[in-house]
Amino acid sequence: MGTDSRAAGALLARARTLHLQTGNLLNWGRLRKKCPSTHSEELRDCIQKTLNEWSSQISPDLVREFPDVLECTVSHAVEKINPDEREEMKVSAKLFIVGSNSSSSTRNAVDMACSVLGVAQLDSVIIASPPIEDGVNLSLEHLQPYWEELENLVQSKKIVAIGTSDLDKTQLEQLYQWAQVKPNSNQVNLASCCVMPPDLTAFAKQFDIQLLTHNDPKELLSEASFQEALQESIPGIQAHEWVPLWLLRYSVIVKSRGIIKSKGYILQAKRRGS
């Protein structure tokens, strides 16, 4: 038996942490009707659809329990990997640190992705550059706490390979020289360069680092955009109290055919003051 959006709003108001999982069925069901022009639009569409469907299905008993951590997911939209097919699949992820948070976000995101997909290990994780203040250049110091946690996850066999995004030659070289587990890839934004910088290409070739391209915006999910999606999905909720902490986008690829079998987003948000 479901509840109305007011009940869902009451539950969200009392929860301290929100885990939101969106899967390929929601994404692609929407894509058949209207294709979002950007990754940000696709993400917002997924957030709204997941919250709308979740809020219509939650149990009144759950509202009365007032859990600290609220899991918002729609079971039919998230597909676990069949253990018998695991060797045939490549599971990759890109982690976006959205808000001010400790490096523990990295482990939380990877653990949750493994749980959602029913696997013990991710084949690759790329970390997007963490948010920094306007006018400040990204430095090794900004990356170190997140990279150290990724290294721990490699050593504990939760991840096979780790990579970076949007590092220039100097930044990538500094990370490579410092890191114990070396980056095996670096993504370059197509919007920033149509030709790979020669110095970056030469360095990557020398140390066997794969250069990939992407077209993610600099800010895939802003605090304001998340709050707007929350407000539109669950009227009456105090959306301004909620801030996103991290966002992980995953994809499951059939190795032999090079096609995407499933994809989705996992997001963690926290209520201010909790």
Residue 26 has pLDDT above 60, yes or no: no
- Kindly list the strands in the beta sheet with 89-97, ordered across the sheet, starting from the edge strand earlier in the chain: 69-73, 17-22, 259-271, 242-254, 89-97, 122-127, 159-165, 185-189, 210-214
* pLDDT over 90, % of the chain: 53
Model pTM score: 0.89
Of residues 21 and 89, more confidently modeled: 89
Residue 58 pLDDT > 90: no
Up-side HSE of residue 251: CA atoms within 13 Å toward CB?
9
Q: Are 169 and 209 in contact (CB under 8 A)?
A: no
pLDDT tens figures, 33-55 = 455 568 888 898 888 888 888 88
Per-residue pLDDT band at 103 (split at 50, 70, 90): low
Q: What is the C-alpha R_g of the chain?
A: 19
Least confident of 57-66, 164-173, 227-236: 57-66
**160 CB contacts (<8 Å, ≥6 apart)?**
121, 122, 123, 124, 154
Q: What pLDDT, on a 0 to 100 scale, did the predictor assign at position 62?
A: 64
Residue 135 region, left (φ>0) first, then alpha (ψ -120 to 50), else beta? Answer: left
**Cβ neighbours of residue 261 closer than 8 Å, sequence gap 6 or more:** 79, 89, 252, 253, 254
- Quick one: pLDDT band at residue 100, thresholds 50, 70, 90? low
Cα gap 98→87, rounded to integer Å: 32
pLDDT at 248: 95
Let me know the angle formed at the C-alpha of 238 by 100 and 5, rounded to the nearest 5 degrees: 125
The secondary structure of residue 172, as a DSSP letter, is H
